[in-house]
Structure 1
Amino acid sequence: MMKKHAVLIGVVIGLILMGVAIGLYPGGTMFDETTVGFSWSRNFISNLFGARALNGAPNPAMIWAYAGMLLFPCCYALFFVHMAGKIPVKNAGIILKYLGLANVVFTFLTVTRYHDLMLIISTSLFWTCIVIITVYILKTKLHWFKFLCIICVLLFYYGVYLWGTSNWDLLPTIQKVNFATSTLLILALEYFTKAEDFANVH
């Protein structure tokens, strides 16, 4: 049972840990350092990881945030391994496995002084895996999943566009929408796809 539902269990625990972190965050945003608590539309998730909150107070959310965010890539890596087993194209499976595992390593390294660089690398690895899966989903008869995959990828690139154009007003919200939709997509693919769905994919 644990093995069958490991991805779901890990995601749920990660969400609980992140929920605790959000509840403990003292306050402050890049727009206003005097705010109290975590703002869903003004704080980035990364604000939870500082030793001090943006309002200057000690940040008790940090340890909970790191625990949650380090658990997610482990769950995602397990999912990518499962998807690699469903897709009959050997090279694609190998790429999914190893990029998923590499994502875990680089996410762990975000706790170092190279946080920004490691975050960029881990995000790139994660979304490369999602794009690969999307390519093969588009070759199947899983029409609903085609729609979900395309929506997730478009939202991600919209977030990249907002970041590139320094649109800080919308970016915190899109970051969370991105996280939510990609996680829901992963859980849906984990439970509602099987190897037979990819039997004619090449």
Structure 2
Amino acid sequence: MNNDRTTYRPRYLLPVAGALLFVLLYVIAALLYPGGSQADKNAAGFSWLHNYWCNLLNDAGINGEPNAGKWWARMGMVVLGGTFCVFWWLFFRYAGFARPVRYLMTACGAMAMLLSLFLSTAAHDILVMISGLLGVVAMAATFTGLYRLKWSRLFWLGMLNLFLVLINNLFYYTPSLIRMLPLVQKITFLLFLVWVCWICRRMRDCR
């Protein structure tokens, strides 16, 4: 176990690099987004307060103009999916999970991210539900690993992430709050990326 943790330490920063690349692609896609949001269909450009990430994946902006940033956004989703697959595989290995469990949990996470590539289709809501359920399986295993390793701060930061996911769902199903959802969604996702990067840093530094 100790030998595994020291031999592969540089690999633990691969998900960090993937997360940073995703953020870069996200920003490029946002800069190229033509305009329109749920709050104002004629607004210019991407609104960090009113647009959702999935708006960047669409062929056209909400204002009807062609979306030049869609390919950057879709590349971002591919990068993000690969990033989480690498992260979960490395973490489950580090935490001492058996190989079949590592395959199963990583597959659940991979499927969740793969389904996210199709969020711009008419099946958006059902895909969100299915990918969310698959993500819960991978997350449950992640919490188990953090508990095994006694990384209490990271465990509770992950719990905060789960709480924010619940808040996202509350806002989504509450008409009076849904206008705030795009901003809360971005805060939740940013904190999740920070959490993943912190776990990677901890794996790299611990011997």
Q: Same fold (TM over 0.5)?
A: yes
The number of equivalent residue pairs is: 196
CA RMSD of aligned residues (A): 2.5
The one of 165, 171, 174 aligned to 1:165:
174
Cα 1:135/1:165, change in 2 over 3 Å:
farther
Which protein has greater RCO, CA pairs closer than 8 Å, 6+ apart?
A: 2
Give CA deviations for 1:148-194 in whole Å, capped at 9, x if unaligned: 11111111111122212243122111111111111111111122037
**Structure 1: segments with no counterpart, 5+ residues:** 198-202
Could you say which residue in structure 2 is the equivalent of 1:123? Answer: 132
Displacement of 1:140: 4.0
The one of 8, 14, 17 aligned to 2:16:
8
| C-alpha contact (below 8 Å) 2:85/2:106 kept by paired residues | yes
Could you say which residue in structure 1 is the equivalent of 2:198? Answer: 188
Could you say which residue in structure 2 is the equivalent of 1:200? Answer: none
Cα 1:8/1:119, change in 2 over 3 Å:
same
Structural mapping, 1:1-202, within 5 Å: 3-90=11-98, 92-110=101-119, 114-166=123-175, 167-193=177-203
% identical equivalent positions: 21
The separation in 2 between residues aligned to 1:168 and 1:180, in whole angstroms, is: 19
Matched position secondary structure for 2:178: coil
**TM-score of the superposed pair, with normalisation by structure 2:** 0.82
Amino acid paired to 1:71: V
Which is worse superposed, 56-65 or 104-113?
Answer: 104-113
Give CA deviations for 1:30-76 in whole Å, capped at 9, x if unaligned: 12112111111111111111111111211111111111112101100
Give CA deviations for 1:101-132 in whole Å, capped at 9, x if unaligned: 32343234446654443343223322432233
Which is worse superposed, 56-65 or 133-142?
Answer: 133-142
**Structure 2: segments with no counterpart, 5+ residues:** 1-8
The separation in 2 between residues aligned to 1:113 and 1:24, in whole angstroms, is: 23
**TM-score of the superposed pair, with normalisation by structure 1:** 0.84
| C-alpha contact (below 8 Å) 2:58/2:120 kept by paired residues | no
